[in-house]
Amino acid sequence: MSTLGLAAVLSGCGLTAGSGHTTLRLVAADYGDSASNSSEKYWGALVTAYEKKHPDVTVDVTVSSWNDVDAKVKAMVDAGHPPDMAQIGSYADYAAADQLYKADDLLSVTVQADFVQQLAAAGKVRGMQYGMPFASSTRLLFYNKTLFAEAGITPPTTWAELAEDAGKLKAEGVKYPYALPLGPEEAQAETLQWLLSGGGGYAQAAGGYSIDSTENVETFDWLKDKLVGKGLTGPVAPGSLNRADAFAAFADGQVGMLNGHPSLMKMAQKTGVKFGMVPMPGVDGPSKVAMGVADWMTAFKKNGHAEQIGQFLDFVYSERNVLGFSREYDLLPVTTSASQIMSTAEQDAALRPFLEELPLAEVYPVGRTSWAQVSAAVKKGIGKAVTRSGDPATVLSDLQSAAMTAESAAGE
């Protein structure tokens, strides 16, 4: 447990610490990559500022790694002691079990209206917003400028150009002409990026999953035949290549192209790799839809404290604090007001290409309680679609069946 709210520890369950005093418990994820920029520092400064203005409230923050935070919150909920707030990767299961406050119950009208529209919509279950976006990101195609210059090629805008570029990079001896991480770490992200660029996606706008759609099958047929089958994705089978390893290889100068988020910029800069970024190529031109990712703030009802939680979250989502968090961790603001400032501020120039993708972004179908199971199935199985003996139509059909089963079990 962090020391941000020692009074919470001294007051037993952390619900109150004396007459008229409220203690709020928040479990949050760590976005830092070292002790020097741990999220504990971010929350420590924010909570100190808040408690100075609200001496009747103590906020006790526990920061955990992304490897542990979702499981830790689930264990607390299962034990009957949920935190007041949890900043985690999903929310739909808790919303479906009627364990969360709606955003309407907590936030001021101005704060709630300030959320980026696509992200606010992604936070809804059956039309009501339970997930409050906390951090967001989009993806771009990164390319190694040095390797491209040596191969005499320019950044691709279509799939055909991407395949042609990859072929020329291979001829120059590049280890990973295009890195295709479909391994179990984050295959659902690479998959969605490609599905969207092919005019498909995981789910229909009006209803259920559409994993085995004609567009999606055609996308994976192309990946199998035009990239993987021609040896243009490197020595590691896509189904065994994890995103972290692909990023490390790019930062080591071994990758010609791959899909990346803002953190890859710092990795490449540290090793001196000269890189460029362009929108994901599509069938006939740049993809019309980008992939977006969001993490979520949730508030549990069991302990009460709706008023105090709402006041604290209004502070968390103030323009200054949203900008501060986004700049510290190279993430995109989840509010329109902060996005507008970042779109013109010189200090945010590096993030601007990602920010420009946000209005076109589509996020995972996180509002479905079945998504966690579907995502796990994609991570486990999608790599088979591009193997020599794999059949994309069969693999996607199997994933669609698993999705429908999960959807039915969830009552969606």
Nearest alpha-carbon partner for 229 in 77, 79, 390: 390
From residue 340, give the alpha-carbon distance in Å to each of 27, 115, 165, 322. 29, 12, 35, 12
From residue 327, give the alpha-carbon distance in Å to each of 109, 130, 296. 25, 26, 18
Same domain, 118 and 40: yes
Same domain, 271 and 200: yes
Residue 284 lies inside a defined structural domain of this protein:
no
Q: Specify the pTM.
A: 0.86
Same domain, 265 and 347: no
Same domain, 161 and 273: yes
The percent of the chain in helix, strand and coil, each rounded to the nearest 5, is 50, 20, 35
Same domain, 69 and 178: no
Residue 311 lies inside a defined structural domain of this protein:
yes
Residue 364 tokens, joined: 């995972």
Can you give the pLDDT at residue 206? 63
Q: What range defines the domain where residue 27 resides? A: 6-136+293-362
Q: What angle do CA 103, 65, 267 make, to 5 degrees?
A: 105
Q: Hey, how many other C-beta atoms are within 10 angstroms of the C-beta on 138?
A: 26
Same domain, 263 and 401: yes
Same domain, 253 and 378: yes
Residue 287 lies inside a defined structural domain of this protein:
no
Residue 202 lies inside a defined structural domain of this protein:
yes
Residue 264 lies inside a defined structural domain of this protein:
yes
The residues with which 297 forms a beta bridge, in sequence order, are: 87, 132
> CB neighbours of 322 closer than 8 A, spacing ≥ 6?
333, 334, 335, 337, 338
Number of domains in the chain: 2
Identify the CATH number of the domain in which residue 262 sits.
Answer: 3.40.190.10
Residue 153 lies inside a defined structural domain of this protein:
yes
Same domain, 403 and 379: yes
pLDDT in tens, 140-187: 999 999 999 999 999 999 999 999 999 999 999 999 999 999 999 889
Please provide the average confidence, as pLDDT, over all residues in the chain.
Answer: 92
Residue 269 lies inside a defined structural domain of this protein:
yes
Q: Can you say how many angstroms the Cα of residue 411 is from the centroid of all Cα atoms in its chain?
A: 25
Same domain, 72 and 210: no
Residue 88 lies inside a defined structural domain of this protein:
yes
Same domain, 56 and 150: no
Same domain, 156 and 223: yes
Same domain, 394 and 274: yes
Query: Residues of the chain whose pLDDT is less than 50?
Result: 1-18
- The rounded distance, in Å, linking the Cα atoms of 40 and 386 is 41
